[in-house]
Structure 1
């Protein structure tokens, strides 16, 4: 078996009216920032806030009555779980989702709210998947794989059809890679419709499974990444065999790249992206020379990010841009010293956010003190102006 454009077009007809045909929009500001002509497909506007609904629904809609009665099983800690659960509930299909230990409670709760039975089993996705398949075989159910399934890949490929219908002259598609289902489906459709279009994959540096397999390398995978949606140790056999001949290049990006892209979506486009959902923009921002002057389409493939994590990312971006700066000052512990520092910062136009006063650091003299003053600034230039003013008081200073 393999996957052809006809199967993806049939999936598109099957999905009509049951999922959102999400908008694709030109971003003038991000285009200027990246020196490309950037079109964004907003899959974070699906009901479950991710593209996974497409593949899940296509698979479920093709089941026979007897298969539906026996129920479906899946393993996932996130978007696939919600996509299967939501559309199984809509179609009246019993669904069991196995999620590994450590899955955030909010994701468990959300999956349960769509009517699925949730089983917590396994320390990793692989262990959860093994358990789910065992449960599925025991009752003769249908296992809905998140990526290594032709029907699932056909559903994901409908994204490329929608993007090229809306913007036929796109030069390149930038697509995140986890297990490979999204890029396999989209590349199959895009290359069939427009053989000269370039397909660029994006992987997290901690999980370069597609690149490793393509190059025949034994590259280490693992670690805590903000892009957990594409944190897959082994790309699927079926998805890799489909995608590999069609993918022109794969870019591997770091954690800071994901963070910058998440912040850019919030600050520039006023929309929320999870780590994996921001992968396409992260790659374009990291390697703008590869996309300069091209009409570039990317998928904001999911918006399910924990709000505390999002807040942390946005604050870290302020630190990265020197708009939130810690001035560490070593001074003598006497009345008025902190007032002097505050006066300098105030006159320079800085806004003090927090102050930590530490007398117990052993590399500070017994009669001295260390002050950490967190200040909101306008930009890096302004931050250095404040630093110069503080140094002019005669005290030692380090800016962090």
Structure 2
């Protein structure tokens, strides 16, 4: 048995009534920033919020009736869990899924809501995997591997067919890599249809196990690490996946945690897409100029998933606003009398600043009790706008002291 275009086309037929044909659209903003004709393939718009449904459902289709009766067990950082839960429920199959205790709560809750029993164990995927194998041996259930399975890889490969059906002139596909199921499936399909197409993988630099494996020429295991891209924080690539990665993937690049966060923020701000860290990894690599030879080329970045906690989204937004100096914190000395604080806030608002928080402290210094320090956090339209607000306040006679980043 092997992974090939025929098998992937069969998978496409198997999942066509369930899986969405996700949108792929051109983005002029990112095209300009990245120097190519850039398209986004939005698997965050797939059912369950990620591409994983494709492989999970195709695997369930190929189980025997006896295997279905025994149930299934899986291990997952979150997206495979939801895909398996959805697919198992559709077939009336009992599913037990092991997820790390660090998995985003949104993914845990969604997996339960799709009908699976969730067991939380370990800090990273590899610990979950060991626990799931233990449960499989105890129960006799079928283990549904999140990536190292030909049926799963074939399901994910249907994305490659869709891309080249929608845009045959595509030159480059940039794909996040965890265990390798997604990229091996897409690469196999895309190279079979168009051998000249370039396939670029992206991994977090703190756990770039596939890149290390490609450099050594064999599968290697790296120490577990928790990336913001939790869905692709995998210590060991799949052995089956690696065969096809070696054969079809042209290059693997890495991105830092800061670059992943910026990718998430940029997709939210520029394209109104809420994505998880893994889903933002491809665009992160392109924005960071990690992918060479794409000038003027037709490039698609796979936005692999959107299952991210809202609390994490809030932190990412806050962090990027501070780093870009679009949220500033400063202290203004005021006379402590009625109306002065209101005038200050009005002045800031008139200059286009959005006052987020205000805190007034008594000023116990040589000036006595007639003065107070007022601490403001203000969101500006840009770094330059924030600097202009501070400058104009000083020109109006206010004593302004910039604080450390919020």
Q: Please indicate, yes or no, whether the TM-score normalized by the shorter chain is above 0.5.
A: yes
Q: Given the superposition, is the C-alpha separation of residues 157 and 360 from structure 1 closer, same or farther in structure 2, using an over 3 Å criterion?
A: farther
Q: Deviations over 1:257-294 (max 9, x none)?
A: 22222222222222221111111111111117733211
| Aligned partners of 2:107 and 2:307 also within 8 Å | no
CA contact (8 A) 1:206 1:222 kept: no
Verify: 1:397 aligned to 2:401, yes or no. Answer: yes
Deviates more, 1:144-153 or 1:375-384: 375-384
* Aligned twin of 2:231: 229
Indicate conservation of the 8 Å contact 1:36/1:292, yes or no. Answer: yes
Q: CA 1:366 to 1:56, structure 2 compared with 1: closer, same or farther past 3 Å? A: farther
Give the Cα–Cα distance (whole angstroms) in 1 for the partners of residues 331 and 236 of structure 2.
Answer: 45
Deviations 1:141-194 (A, max 9, x none): 211110111111111111101101110000100000111111111111111111
Q: CA separation in 2, counterparts of 1:21 and 1:340? A: 55
Q: Secondary structure at the match of 2:381?
A: coil
Q: Contact (CA 8 Å) 1:34, 1:288: kept in 2 or not? A: no
Give the whole-Å Cα distance in 1 for the aligned partners of 2:209 and 2:373. 46
Instruction: Show the counterpart of 2:117.
Output: 117
The change in CA–CA distance for 1:176 and 1:64 in structure 2 (over 3 A counts) is same
> What secondary structure sits across from 2:110 in the alignment?
helix
Indicate which of 303, 309, 328 corresponds to 1:300: 303
Q: Residue 252 of structure 2: which of 250, 255, 261 is its match? A: 250
Greater mean deviation of Cα atoms: 390-399 or 335-344: 335-344
For 1:379 and 1:338, locate their aligned partners in 2 and report how far apart those are by CA, in whole Å: 24
Q: How does 1:3-82 map to 2 (within 5 A)?
A: 3-82=3-82
Counterpart position of 2:380:
377
Aligned residue in 2 for 1:320: 323
Residue matched to 2:136: 136
Asked whether the 8 Å contact 1:173–1:296 carries over to 2, the reply is yes
After superposition, where does 1:203-352 map in structure 2 within 5 Å? 203-216=203-216, 221-287=223-289, 290=292, 291-328=294-331, 342=345, 345-346=348-349, 348-352=351-355
CA gap 1:220/1:19 in 2 versus in 1, 3 angstroms:
closer
1:340 CA drift (Å): 7.6
CA distance in 2, matches of 1:68, 1:133: 17
Contact 1:20 1:46 in 2 (8 A): yes
Distance 1:365 1:263, change over 3 A: farther
Partner secondary structure for residue 63 of structure 1: coil
CA–CA distance in structure 2, aligned partners of residues 155 and 211 of structure 1:
23
Q: Secondary structure at the match of 1:244?
A: helix
> Kindly tell me: are residues 140 and 296 of structure 1, through their superposed partners in 2, closer, same or farther at Cα, counting changes over 3 Å?
same
TM-score, normalising length: structure 2: 0.88
Q: Distance in 1 between matches of 2:265 and 2:348?
A: 27
User: Structure 1 residues 77 and 328 mapped into 2: Cα distance closer, same or farther (>3 Å)?
Assistant: same
Deviation (angstroms), 1:303? 1.0
- Rounded to whole Å, the distance in 2 between the matches of 1:126 and 1:110 is 21
Question: Residues 34 and 90 from structure 1, CA distance in 2 versus in 1: closer, same or farther, beyond 3 angstroms?
Answer: same
Whole-angstrom distance in 1 between the partners of 2:159 and 2:142: 25
Partner of 2:193: 193
The gaps in structure 2 that reach 5 residues or longer are none
CA distance in 1, matches of 2:366, 2:11: 72
TM-score (norm 1): 0.90
Distance of 2:378 and 2:109 partners within structure 1: 38
**Which string of whole-angstrom CA distances, capped at 9 and with x for unpartnered residues, describes residues 94-133 of structure 1?**
2111223343444333212222222233343222211211
User: 8 Å contact 1:206–1:221 — kept in the other structure?
Assistant: no
Residues 205 and 328 of structure 1, relative CA distance in 2, 3 Å threshold: farther
Whole-Å separation in 2 of the counterparts to 1:301 and 1:190: 17
Structure 1 residues 299-308 or 25-34, which shifts more? 25-34
Taking the aligned partners of 1:162 and 1:265, their CA distance within structure 2 comes to: 22
163-172 or 218-227: which moved more?
218-227
Shift in CA distance, 389/220, structure 1 to aligned 2, threshold 3 Å:
farther
Match of 1:96 in 2: 96
Q: Are the aligned partners of 1:344 and 1:389 in contact in 2 as well (CA < 8 Å)?
A: no
Asked if structure 2 preserves the Cα contact closer than 8 Å seen for 1:209 and 1:221, the reply is: no
Using the TM superposition, give the Cα deviation of residue 245 of structure 1 relative to its aligned residue in structure 2, in angstroms: 3.0
